[in-house]
Amino acid sequence: MSDSRDRSRRGRRSAAAPASTDPAASSSGGAGVPRSRRSARRVDGSTQVRHGRLSRRGPVAGLAKLLAGGLAVLLVSGASVGAIAAYQVRSDLGDGVSLQAAEGETQQAAPASIDAYEGGFNILVVGTDNDADQGDEFGERDATLNDVNILLHVSADHTNATAVSIPRDLVVPIPACAREDGSGYYSAMAARPINEAYSYGGLGCVASTVSQLTGLDVPFAGMVSFNGVIEMSNAIGGVPVCAASPIDDPYTGLNIAAGETTLSGADALAFLRTRHGVGDGSDLGRISSQQVYLSSLLRTIKSADTLASPTKLYSLARAAASNMTLSDGLTDVTTMVQIGSALKDLPLDSVNFVQYPGTTGGTGVYAGKVQPDEYVAGQLFDAIRADRPFTIPEGSTGVGSESTGTATAAPGAAAPDTGAATTPADGTASGSATAPASGSGAGSGSGSGSTEVIDGLTGQTAADQTCSVAFGG
């Protein structure tokens, strides 16, 4: 999802097949092309049809991962809202879409309970930049790009969770995804920006691509566009965010003062879209700024003001259900209740927001894009797959944000009104490490003892108070 001037599986198991490159990848040379932890898919040899370069590209939008969770919280709180309201929300969801397996994958039946997923369960949340209902308010687009891709992993014992934001420009292999009309498969591609995956098989292709990249099964997925972000922020009365200094981005129209500002509607969307206004102007800086919003969003949703308000819960659930496309597994009421029950009691310091490890400044297929840091990514997903605790290095919030301390209460504790970083209560410097939750370690896992620190990983916990850093700040 972009500003108007930005040019720039159900569970799956893969079957081994030789990889091929698409012409765009091979013309830049095959060296350094990222390899999946899953086996690569074969190319069927057919001519590949490519979309032309889009006139506008960019991010959109926020963590909708809590949409299904918010909806489920509503359902498990049905006594206060009423069965009729729950029925209305369920009706908004529709039938959902099938996450069709890519060529060489086997589509497996979903288990009866989320507890049956070994090592925890995963939900993919996709933000798209094109919605028929939004008109041309955010610019005309001739294709739909999955510009926001967040993979949420919830540990098997439901004590912690990790949300991994994958940069839209991360260059990855895209498997031979099933065509949505059932007529066959697209050709596999060895090195393309991940935000092109939706164009080659819809939500199912994004799920297959993320599964191949991370080595994790993706049984659940949901998709939200600009309107969904606007309506969700309105439903909960806005989300407080902190800016370390004034942020002024003419590309998205964002203009906020230093300190705390409560954002809703189009302003919340502008904050999530801004790239030129924060950090170093890159997509990596934007992700760390987005995590300022996402952590505050979670604190707001988990606050007494929201959970004790049937009206807010109902509005949030309706906003989510009316503005999302969910995989068919997520439209099942029983599954939603199970997911809501797993998420609603998570402590704030047990929820990590991290960025898929990557770097800019590469050459060849990585020129102007994001190159995966396979070593750090390997450590991250090894830990997630094993449901093993890990923590983020001290001071590693990312280039688009800075730490100001740790929240002591869920209801969105006030951020500093001067924009200056403060010293946490434990005396550590600004940008403190994400502390292990209840001795089990931040991030994925339920083990005991010391936790692994993954050097090179950036992010924060939902308990960490952070401020977005203005471009050049």
pLDDT for 320 equals 79
Which tens digits make up the pLDDT trace of 365-407? 999 999 999 999 999 999 999 998 899 998 899 999 999 876 6
Band of pLDDT at residue 176, cut at 50, 70 and 90 = very high
Long-range Cβ contact pairs of 302-307 (< 8 A, separation 24 or more): 302/344, 302/348, 302/410, 303/410, 303/411, 303/412, 304/410, 304/411, 305/237, 305/411, 306/236, 307/73, 307/77
Please state, in angstroms and rounded to a whole number, the distance separating the CA atoms of residues 468 and 473: 10
Percent of the chain with pLDDT over 90: 44
Does residue 415 carry a pLDDT above 80?
Answer: no
Instruction: Evaluate if residue 167 carries a pLDDT over 60.
Output: yes
DSSP state letters, 253-267: TEEE-SEEEEE-HHH
Tell me what the pLDDT averaged over the chain comes to. Answer: 75
Say if residues 137 and 338 touch (Cβ distance below 8 Å).
Answer: no
Q: Is the pLDDT of residue 153 over 70?
A: yes
Q: What are 75-116's pLDDT values in tens digits?
A: 344 334 445 555 566 666 677 888 888 998 887 777 878 888
pLDDT number for residue 69:
41
Of 136-140, 259-263, 350-354, give the lowest mean pLDDT range.
136-140
Q: What is the pLDDT of residue 54?
A: 36
Q: Identify whether the C-beta of residue 204 lies closer than 8 Å to the C-beta of residue 98.
A: yes
Q: What is the pLDDT of residue 207?
A: 95
Q: Is 249 helix (H, G, I), strand (E, B) or coil?
A: strand
State the pLDDT at residue 136: 55
Q: Of 470, 123, 6, 77, nearest to 310 (Cα)?
A: 77
Instruction: Provide the pLDDT for residue 177.
Output: 95
What is the per-residue DSSP string for 91-151?
A: HHH-S-B--PPPTTEEE-PPPSSGGGSTT-EEEEEEEES--GGGTTTT---SS--EEEEEE
Q: Which residue has the tokens 């092309």?
A: 33
Is 60 exceeded by the pLDDT of residue 131?
no
Cα–Cα–Cα angle for 113, 13, 35, rounded to 5 degrees: 130
Handedness of CA 324, 327, 330, 331 (dihedral sign): positive
Out of 132-141, 181-190, 200-209, 265-274, least confident range: 132-141
Q: Quick: pLDDT tens for 304-361.
A: 788 778 888 788 888 877 888 889 888 887 888 888 888 878 889 999 999 999 999 9
Asked if residue 228 lies in contact with residue 315, where contact means CB atoms within 8 angstroms, the answer is no
Which CATH code fits 119-405+455-468? 3.40.630.190
pLDDT at 83: 52
pLDDT score of 39? 37
Listed ranges 10-24, 47-61, 133-147, 453-467; the one with the highest mean pLDDT: 453-467
Q: What are the tens digits of pLDDT across the range 12-64?
A: 433 333 334 333 333 333 333 333 333 333 333 333 333 333 333 333 333 33
Helices 65-76, 310-322: inter-axial angle, 10-degree rounding: 130
Convert 434-466 into a string of H (helix), E (strand) and C (coil).
CCCCCCCCCCCCCCCCCCEECCCCCEEECCEEE
Cα dihedral 224, 229, 233, 236, rounded to 10, equals -10
Which tops the pLDDT comparison, 440 or 220? 220
User: What would the pLDDT profile of 418-454 be if each residue is shown by its tens digit?
Assistant: 333 333 333 333 333 333 333 333 454 433 457 899 9
